[in-house]
């Protein structure tokens, strides 16, 4: 049974995150500035979302002495949900070197708010931790479908990283995939009649690519 109190969900707690989220919410922010703020914010969210990646000790030689360092036990697979999720891919690639990339295309009907899959291209997920990136977690339907696709292709540990999450979306993931942790920069309380997050920031993809 889904228990909201014990749902693995975290909001990134940092003053810079609050400032960047505010810039994205502001309707006067132009696409060029929106993209810069979104990229910075994605890096902060991804760092938090990968906090629990397993490492193992290694011995390294510094210019002065030998010491113990660390390396990741497993590689990382990053899977953006098209198209808005692409905004979070480059930040992930800047942060991690051993990365495999997959893509999931889900298109949400504006009339029904139900998503249909039009593309899925995934790497081998069996020996990697999987980071699903989707900036807006609204109803949670698309994200839940994406997680199901990842699990069906061998993913054993999935973390979902978002910019803004609605409580309804967090609850949906908790009900459908209680083993999946959700990390977001902000948690908003409501959805409007068109299933957009309120207060939210509008359509992330449109604002990112200037297709309003």
Domain ranges of the chain: 4-209
CB 159 within 8 A of CB 49: yes
What sign for the dihedral angle of Cα 185, 123, 95, 64? positive
Alpha-carbon distance of 142 to 147, in angstroms, equals 9
Nearest to 82 by CA among 103, 54, 63, 55: 103
112 is catalytic: yes
Catalytic residue status for 108: yes
CATH of the structural domain 4-209, one choice from 3.40.50.2020, 3.40.50.2300, 3.40.50.720, 3.30.1300.10: 3.40.50.2020
User: What is the spatial distance between Cα 160 and Cα 49, in angstroms, rounded to a whole number?
Assistant: 8
Three-state DSSP state, 200: coil
Catalytic position from the list 112, 127, 179, 211: 112
203 is catalytic: yes
Nearest of 18, 40, 42, 54 to residue 186 by alpha carbon: 18
Q: Residue 3 catalytic? A: no
pTM of the predicted model as reported, rounded to 2 decimal places: 0.90
Residues 22-49 pLDDT 10s: 999 999 999 999 999 999 999 999 999 9
The pair of three-digit structure tokens given for residue 26, joined into one six-digit string? 């502001």
Q: What is the pLDDT of residues 119-169, one digit of tens each?
A: 899 999 998 999 999 999 999 999 999 999 999 999 999 999 999 999 999
Is residue 98 scored above 90 in pLDDT? Answer: no
CA distance 29 to 207: 9
Catalytic residue among 10, 25, 35, 108: 108
Catalytic member of 10, 83, 171, 203: 203
């Amino acid at each position: 049974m889904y228990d909201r109190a014990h749902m693995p969900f975290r909001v990134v707690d940092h003053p810079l995150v609050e400032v960047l989220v505010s810039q994205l919410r502001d309707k006067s922010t132009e696409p060029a500035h929106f993209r810069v703020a979104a990229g910075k914010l994605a890096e902060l969210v991804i760092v938090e979302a990968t906090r629990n990646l397993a490492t193992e000790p290694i011995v390294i030689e510094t210019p002065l002495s030998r010491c113990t360092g660390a390396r990741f036990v497993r590689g990382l697979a990053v899977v953006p949900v098209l198209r808005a999720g692409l905004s979070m891919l480059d930040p992930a690639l800047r942060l991690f070197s051993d990365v495999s990339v997959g893509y999931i295309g889900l298109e949400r009907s504006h009339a029904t708010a139900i998503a249909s899959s039009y593309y899925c291209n995934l790497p081998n997920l069996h020996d990697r931790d999987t980071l699903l990136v989707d900036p807006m977690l609204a109803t949670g339907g698309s994200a839940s479908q994406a997680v199901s696709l990842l699990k069906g292709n061998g993913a054993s540990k999935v973390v979902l990283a978002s910019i803004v999450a609605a409580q309804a979306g967090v609850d949906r993931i908790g009900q459908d995939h209680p083993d999946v942790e959700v990390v977001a920069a902000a948690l908003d309380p409501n959805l409007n009649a068109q299933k957009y997050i309120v207060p939210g920031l509008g359509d992330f993809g449109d604002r990112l690519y200037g297709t309003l």
